C-alpha cells in the first residue's frame, strides 16, 4: 500500500465496526425490493436478468477469476486504432465478449486481435515497482493525434475490458445475494473482491495515451504533472515527466480518467456481502482495494465532468468503510457540481450530453447520501442523520432543467457537444418520480419505459419504486415555454401540452463545449427536426465541421467564424401568449457587427397551423450570409430560378447553384408522407447560393460508424451593405400549408413590417427597435402602433412594448409598454427567490405574474419568469422562484419588463 493510502488507512478504523450495512442501498430499499419481487412480474424479471448476467461467471472454475483479473495493469478502452481499416479513427471500435475474453473484433472490418499481422512488438517492462509487468504495443502503425502518436495495444484493452466486466459482475452477484440470500452469489463476489485486493496495489498509474509510470502509485498519483523521473511512453513520443493529459485520462484499473466507475462498483459489492466476509477479508478489501483506490481519485485537484465520478466514488468508499472524512470529500465534490458546475437555472453550461455524463457520475452518490447517517459515535457538529438530499432546491432544478429542455420527441436538441440520440433514460425518469413524484414526471416515466409503467421497471425501480405505484389518469408530459436565465436559450412551444413543436433561439455565452453558434435557430415540429443543430462528432478529426459557425442556422459575417470570447448574449423580449410567442435576442458574436440580433415570432392559428417569422438584423461587416441548412437532401424551389454557379462557393459547399429573385420564394422539403417543411424568403438585394454541404450529425459514441451525408446549405448573400435585415418564414405543415404568400410593408424608422398571406386570411407583423408611433398600410386597412412587436390578424391583435395599437375594429391599450428601475436587492432561497424592484407601484402587481422580467448586469441582459409578486412594507418583490418552481436570480443592477396585451 502507498504512503497516502497508509495515512488514510491509519486514520481509518475508529468507526469501521459501526457501519450498518448495507449503507449505499438502505435496509428499507431491500425491503421494498422484496415487496416488489413478491407482487410484480417486472421485478422478478429484473432479478432473473441479473442472474442471467452472472450465470457464466458463477459457473466457472477457480482459475477463471484469476484469468479475468490479471496481475498486469490494464490499459484503456479508447485510443486503440485498427491499422487494417482505420475505422473510427483515433479510438477504434471493437466487440468484446466476456465468454470469449481473449479477443477483440474490429466492428468495421471484422479483423480479430491480437493478430500476428500486427504484432505487439514494442515492450515496456516495469521492473522496479511494477514487479516485472510487461506491457506491449504494436510498433508498426501509429496515428498522429494533434502531434501525439497513438499506438495500439489490444492486449491492454482486453485487460481493461476484463477488469471492468468483473467489477460489474461483483456488483451484480452481490446484489442477487442481498435480494435472495443465496450464498453462492456472495461467495463468487467475495472471490472477485479478494482477487482485486491482491492485484490492485500493483496496478500502475498510466494513461490511455500509452504512458506508464513505474513508480509507487501514490507518488505517481500525486505528481502526475510533475514526475520525479521519466515516464515510459510509446515511441516516437518522448517522455516529459508528466502524463500527456494529466489526470484527464489517467487510471489504474482503467485508463479513462474515470477510475471512480470501477471503484464504485466494487464498493457497492463489498457493502452488500459484508456479512459473509471474515474480519481479515474485510480489512484486506477495505485497505488494498477500496481505500487504496481513493489515492488516485483524491490526488486530482480539478473539478470537471470526469473528476465528479471520482470524488463521489471516494464518498461511497467512505460510507462502506466507515470513514466520515471520505464521505465529506465526496459530498463536497457532489455539492460543488450541483451548485457551481450546473448553472443556477439547473441547465448545463456544456450540453445536454455532457450534463447527463456529469449526472451519471453524481446521482448514485446522491442516492446513497439521501437518508445517510454517520456511524454511531461520530458526534461532530456536522454530523449527518438521515440526511434529506432531495429537499435541496438546486439539485431539484437540475432535474427540472433536464425535463424542461426536452424536444417533444423526448430527446434533446443536439446543441454544442450533444448527440442527436441523447435522451433522458428511464432510470432518471424513475428517480424523478421516486424523489419528487410530480404528475409530469410520472407521465414522462410512462413514455420512456418500453411498456406500461405498472408492468415495466429496471434495477432502480426494483429497490426504489413504491410497490403501489401507478400513473394517475390526469398525468401528462406538458412542455412549457421557457427562457433559461443562465443558459440563455429561449424555448417556445406549440400544440397540445407544448408537444406539437419547439423553437429554440440560442443566445448562450461561449463555453468550452459550445459551438460557434450564437443566435442559432432550431425548429422541431410534427415529429421532425427541420432546422437542425448537427451535434457532436466526439474526438473525430473532422469534428470542427459541426462546431464551425456555418454549420448553424444564422448570419455569417464576412465568411468568418464567430468569436469565442466576449460573445455575450442578451434577451430583449420573451413572451408566450396563445397566438403569439416571441423570443428576441442579440449577441456580440462578431466584433465588426454593432448589431447582431434575431427576433423569432411564432404565430399560432391553432388547428389551422402555425408559422415562424424570423427577423435577423446585422449592422457592420462587409458580407452578410443568412444561412440555414435543410434537414435532408432534396427540395423543390418555387419563385426562384437556380442555375449552376460559376466559380467556387463558400463553406466547402459543392454542386452550388445560384440565383436571385425580387419576389418572395420558397423551398420545400418532403419530410414524410404527410409532413412538409417550407422555408420562405422575403428577399432584399441579395444573391442566393444553394449547394451540398457537410451534413453528418453527431449520432452517438465513437463506436458509431461515420455517416457521411451532404445536406442542402441555403445562403442569402448581401455584399457591400453595412446594414441588413433578413426576413424569413418557416412552416412545418401536415397537409395544406397555412402560408400562401409574403410581402414587405412600407414602414418608417428602425422597423420592419411584413404581411403574411394565409389560407384563412392575412396577418401583418411589425417589429421595431423603438416605441415610436407608426402607421402602416396593410391590405386589411391601417395598422397603427407604437409597439416593438405588433401582430395583427383577422382573429386577434397583439401588442408588446407600446401603449396602443389599433387595427380594424380592435384596439389594445396598455398603461405602459415598458416598466423598469433599479434592482434594490436579491434574495435566493431554497424554495423562494426574488428581486426587490424599484419603480413599481403596489397596485396592479398581479398582472405581472407570468411575464418575463429582464435583468441587466451592466454588460448583458437576461430574463426570468415572474412566478409571483409580493409586498413587504414599501418593498416590491418579483418572485423568480416560488415553492421550488423557477430560478434563483443570478445577479443584476437594473430590471425592466416589456408589457404585452391582446385583443380578440
Residues near Zn ion (CB under 5 A): 82, 84-85, 87, 106, 108-109, 515, 517, 533
> Would you report the helix, strand and coil content of the chain in percent, each value rounded to 5?
30, 30, 40
Q: Buried (b) or exposed (e) across 271-286, using 16+ Cβ within 10 A?
A: bbbbeebeeebbbbbb
Q: What is each CA distance from 151 to 102, 107, 210, 539, in whole angstroms?
A: 19, 18, 7, 16
Beta strands in 303-421 (DSSP E): none
Residue 58 burial by Cβ neighbours in a 10 Å radius (0-12, 13-18, 19+): middle
Contact by Cβ (8 Å): 120, 138: yes
Instruction: Tell me which residue of 244, 91, 253 sits closest to 160, measured CA to CA.
Output: 253
Phi, psi of 13 (to 5 degrees): 130, -35
**Cβ proximity to Zn ion, 106 vs 364, nearer residue:** 106
Instruction: Tell me which residue of 595, 623, 601 sits closest to 769, measured CA to CA.
Output: 595
**Cβ proximity to Zn ion, 82 vs 266, nearer residue:** 82
Q: How far is the CB of 412 from Zn ion (least distance, A)?
A: 12
Angle at 138 between CA 135 and CA 144, to 5 degrees: 110
**Cβ proximity to Zn ion, 277 vs 545, nearer residue:** 545
Q: How far is the CB of 416 from Zn ion (least distance, A)?
A: 6
**Cβ proximity to Zn ion, 109 vs 478, nearer residue:** 109
**Cβ proximity to Zn ion, 36 vs 142, nearer residue:** 142
**Cβ proximity to Zn ion, 152 vs 852, nearer residue:** 152
What are 73's three cell numbers?
Answer: 495493469
Contact by Cβ (8 Å): 137, 152: yes
**Cβ proximity to Zn ion, 87 vs 737, nearer residue:** 87
**Cβ proximity to Zn ion, 85 vs 122, nearer residue:** 85
Q: How far is the CB of 407 from Zn ion (least distance, A)?
A: 15
Q: Cα(505)–Cα(569) distance, rounded to whole angstroms?
A: 11
**Cβ proximity to Zn ion, 106 vs 854, nearer residue:** 106
Q: How far is the CB of 419 from Zn ion (least distance, A)?
A: 11
**Cβ proximity to Zn ion, 84 vs 826, nearer residue:** 84
Q: How far is the CB of 520 from Zn ion (least distance, A)?
A: 7
Q: How far is the CB of 108 from Zn ion (least distance, A)?
A: 4
Instruction: Give the list of residues 6+ apart from residue 534 with CB closer than 8 angstroms, or none.
Output: 414, 545, 546, 551, 694, 695, 696, 697, 698
**Cβ proximity to Zn ion, 318 vs 535, nearer residue:** 535
Q: How far is the CB of 714 from Zn ion (least distance, A)?
A: 17
Contact by Cβ (8 Å): 259, 253: yes
Instruction: Tell me which residue of 591, 526, 515, 524 sits closest to 554, measured CA to CA.
Output: 515
Longest dimension (CA), the chain: 92
Beta strands in 558-700 (DSSP E): 570-576, 580-586, 595-604, 610-619, 623-629, 636-638, 643-644, 654-659, 665-670, 675-682, 687-694
**Cβ proximity to Zn ion, 358 vs 532, nearer residue:** 532
**Cβ proximity to Zn ion, 109 vs 302, nearer residue:** 109
Residue 875 burial by Cβ neighbours in a 10 Å radius (0-12, 13-18, 19+): middle
**Cβ proximity to Zn ion, 536 vs 635, nearer residue:** 536
Q: How far is the CB of 414 from Zn ion (least distance, A)?
A: 7
For residue 22, say if its preceding peptide bond is cis, omega within 30 degrees of 0. Answer: yes
Q: Cα(880)–Cα(863) distance, rounded to whole angstroms?
A: 10
Q: What is each CA distance from 19 to 285, 320, 375, in whole angstroms?
A: 15, 7, 6
Q: Cα(604)–Cα(623) distance, rounded to whole angstroms?
A: 34
Q: How far is the CB of 93 from Zn ion (least distance, A)?
A: 8
Q: How far is the CB of 550 from Zn ion (least distance, A)?
A: 11
Query: Interhelix angle for 439-448 vs 426-436, to 10°?
Result: 160
Q: How far is the CB of 794 from Zn ion (least distance, A)?
A: 39
Q: How many residues does the chain have?
A: 904
**Cβ proximity to Zn ion, 459 vs 544, nearer residue:** 544
What are 578's three cell numbers?
Answer: 396563445
Q: Cα(263)–Cα(278) distance, rounded to whole angstroms?
A: 21
Q: How far is the CB of 558 from Zn ion (least distance, A)?
A: 20
Task: Kindly report the number of other CB atoms within 10 A of residue 654's CB atom.
Answer: 12
Q: How far is the CB of 541 from Zn ion (least distance, A)?
A: 17
Task: Kindly report the number of other CB atoms within 10 A of residue 202's CB atom.
Answer: 18
Q: How far is the CB of 84 from Zn ion (least distance, A)?
A: 5
Contact by Cβ (8 Å): 716, 683: yes
Q: How far is the CB of 527 from Zn ion (least distance, A)?
A: 21
**Cβ proximity to Zn ion, 112 vs 470, nearer residue:** 112
Q: How far is the CB of 715 from Zn ion (least distance, A)?
A: 18
Amino acid at each position: 500500500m502507498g504512503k497516502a493510502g497508509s495515512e488514510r488507512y491509519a486514520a481509518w478504523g475508529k468507526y469501521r465496526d459501526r457501519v450498518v450495512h448495507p449503507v449505499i442501498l438502505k435496509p428499507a430499499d431491500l425491503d421494498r425490493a422484496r415487496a416488489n419481487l413478491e407482487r410484480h412480474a417486472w421485478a422478478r424479471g429484473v432479478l432473473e436478468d441479473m442472474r442471467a448476467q452472472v450465470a457464466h461467471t458463477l459457473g466457472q472454475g477457480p482459475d477463471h477469476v484469476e484469468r479475468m483479473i490479471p496481475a498486469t495493469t490494464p490499459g484503456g478502452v479508447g485510443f486503440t486504432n485498427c491499422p487494417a481499416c482505420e475505422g473510427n479513427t483515433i479510438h477504434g471500435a471493437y466487440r468484446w465478449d466476456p465468454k470469449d475474453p481473449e479477443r477483440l473484433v474490429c466492428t468495421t472490418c471484422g479483423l480479430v486481435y491480437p493478430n500476428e499481422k500486427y504484432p505487439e512488438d514494442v515492450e515496456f517492462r516495469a521492473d522496479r515497482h511494477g514487479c516485472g509487468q510487461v506491457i506491449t504495443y504494436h510498433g508498426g502503425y501509429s496515428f498522429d493525434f494533434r502531434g501525439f502518436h497513438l499506438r495500439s495495444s489490444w492486449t491492454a484493452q482486453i485487460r481493461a475490458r476484463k477488469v471492468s466486466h468483473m467489477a460489474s459482475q461483483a456488483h451484480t452477484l452481490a446484489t442477487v445475494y442481498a435480494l435472495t440470500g443465496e450464498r453462492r452469489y456472495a461467495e463468487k463476489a467475495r472471490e472477485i473482491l479478494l482477487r482485486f485486493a491482491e492485484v490492485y496495489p500493483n496496478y500502475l498509474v498510466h494513461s490511455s495515451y500509452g504512458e506508464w509510470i513505474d513508480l509507487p502509485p501514490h507518488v505517481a498519483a500525486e505528481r502526475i504533472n510533475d514526475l520525479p523521473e521519466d515516464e515510459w511512453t510509446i515511441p516516437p513520443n518522448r517522455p516529459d515527466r508528466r502524463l500527456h493529459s494529466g489526470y484527464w485520462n489517467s487510471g489504474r484499473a482503467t485508463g479513462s480518467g474515470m477510475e471512480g466507475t470501477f471503484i464504485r462498483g466494487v464498493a457497492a459489492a463489498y457493502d452488500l456481502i459484508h456479512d459473509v466476509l471474515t474480519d481479515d477479508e474485510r480489512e484486506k478489501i477495505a485497505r488494498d482495494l477500496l481505500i487504496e483506490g481513493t489515492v488516485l481519485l483524491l490526488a486530482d485537484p480539478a473539478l470537471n465532468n470526469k473528476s465528479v465520478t471520482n470524488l463521489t466514488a471516494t464518498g461511497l468508499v467512505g460510507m462502506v468503510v466507515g470513514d466520515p472524512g471520505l464521505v465529506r470529500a465526496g459530498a463536497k465534490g457532489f455539492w460543488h457540481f450541483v451548485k457551481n458546475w450546473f448553472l443556477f437555472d439547473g441547465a448545463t453550461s456544456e450540453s445536454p450530453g455532457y450534463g447527463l455524463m456529469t449526472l451519471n457520475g453524481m446521482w448514485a452518490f446522491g442516492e446513497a447520501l439521501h437518508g445517510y447517517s454517520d456511524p454511531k459515535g461520530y458526534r461532530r457538529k456536522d454530523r449527518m442523520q438521515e440526511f434529506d438530499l432531495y429537499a435541496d432546491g438546486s439539485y431539484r432544478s437540475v432535474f427540472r432543467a433536464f425535463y424542461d429542455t426536452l424536444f417533444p420527441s423526448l430527446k434533446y436538441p443536439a446543441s454544442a457537444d450533444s448527440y442527436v440520440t441523447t435522451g433522458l433514460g428511464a432510470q432518471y425518469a424513475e428517480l424523478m418520480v421516486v424523489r419528487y413524484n410530480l404528475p409530469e414526471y410520472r407521465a414522462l416515466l410512462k413514455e420512456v419505459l418500453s411498456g406500461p409503467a405498472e408492468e415495466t421497471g429496471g434495477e432502480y425501480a426494483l429497490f426504489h419504486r413504491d410497490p403501489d405505484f401507478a400513473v394517475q389518469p390526469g398525468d401528462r408530459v406538458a412542455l412549457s415555454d421557457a427562457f433559461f436565465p443562465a443558459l440563455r436559450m429561449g424555448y417556445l412551444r406549440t400544440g397540445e401540452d407544448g408537444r406539437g413543436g419547439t423553437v429554440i433561439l440560442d443566445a448562450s455565452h461561449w463555453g468550452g463545449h459550445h459551438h460557434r453558434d450564437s443566435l442559432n435557430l432550431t425548429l422541431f415540429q410534427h415529429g421532425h427536426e427541420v432546422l437542425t443543430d448537427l451535434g457532436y462528432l466526439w474526438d473525430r478529426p473532422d469534428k470542427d465541421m459541426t462546431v464551425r459557425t456555418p454549420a448553424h442556422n444564422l448570419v455569417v459575417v464576412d465568411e468568418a467564424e464567430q468569436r469565442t470570447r466576449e460573445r455575450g448574449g442578451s434577451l430583449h423580449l420573451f413572451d408566450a401568449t396563445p397566438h403569439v410567442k416571441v423570443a428576441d435576442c442579440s449577441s456580440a458574436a462578431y466584433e465588426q457587427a454593432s448589431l447582431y440580433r434575431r427576433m423569432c415570432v411564432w404565430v399560432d392559428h391553432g388547428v389551422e397551423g402555425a408559422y415562424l417569422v424570423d427577423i435577423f438584423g446585422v449592422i457592420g461587416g462587409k458580407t452578410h450570409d443568412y444561412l440555414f441548412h435543410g434537414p435532408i437532401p432534396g427540395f423543390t424551389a418555387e419563385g426562384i430560378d437556380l442555375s449552376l454557379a460559376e466559380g467556387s462557393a463558400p463553406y466547402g459547399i459543392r454542386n452550388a447553384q445560384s440565383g436571385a429573385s425580387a419576389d418572395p420564394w420558397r423551398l420545400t422539403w418532403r419530410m414524410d408522407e404527410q409532413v412538409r417543411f417550407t422555408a420562405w424568403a422575403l428577399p432584399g438585394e441579395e444573391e442566393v447560393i444553394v449547394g451540398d454541404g457537410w451534413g453528418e450529425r453527431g449520432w452517438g459514441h465513437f463506436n458509431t460508424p461515420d455517416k457521411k451525408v451532404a445536406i442542402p446549405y441555403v445562403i442569402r448573400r448581401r455584399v457591400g451593405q453595412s446594414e441588413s435585415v433578413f426576413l424569413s418564414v418557416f412552416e412545418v405543415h401536415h397537409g395544406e400549408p397555412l402560408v400562401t404568400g409574403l410581402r414587405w410593408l412600407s414602414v418608417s424608422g428602425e422597423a420592419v413590417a411584413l404581411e403574411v398571406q394565409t389560407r384563412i386570411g392575412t396577418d401583418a407583423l411589425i417589429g421595431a427597435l423603438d416605441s415610436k408611433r407608426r402607421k402602416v398600410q396593410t391590405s386589411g386597412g391601417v395598422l397603427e402602433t407604437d409597439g416593438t412587436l405588433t401582430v395583427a390578424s383577422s382573429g386577434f391583435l397583439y401588442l408588446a412594448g407600446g401603449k396602443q395599437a389599433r387595427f380594424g375594429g380592435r384596439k389594445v391599450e396598455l398603461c405602459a409598454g415598458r416598466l423598469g428601475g433599479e434592482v434594490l436587492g436579491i434574495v435566493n432561497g431554497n424554495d423562494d427567490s426574488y428581486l426587490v424592484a424599484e419603480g413599481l407601484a403596489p397596485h396592479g402587481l398581479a398582472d405581472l405574474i407570468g411575464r418575463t422580467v429582464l435583468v441587466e448586469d451592466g454588460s448583458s441582459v437576461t430574463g426570468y419568469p415572474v412566478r409571483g409578486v409580493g409586498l413587504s412594507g414599501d418593498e416590491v418583490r418579483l418572485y423568480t422562484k416560488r415553492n421550488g418552481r423557477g430560478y434563483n436570480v443570478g445577479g443584476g443592477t437594473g430590471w425592466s419588463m416589456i408589457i404585452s396585451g391582446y385583443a380578440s
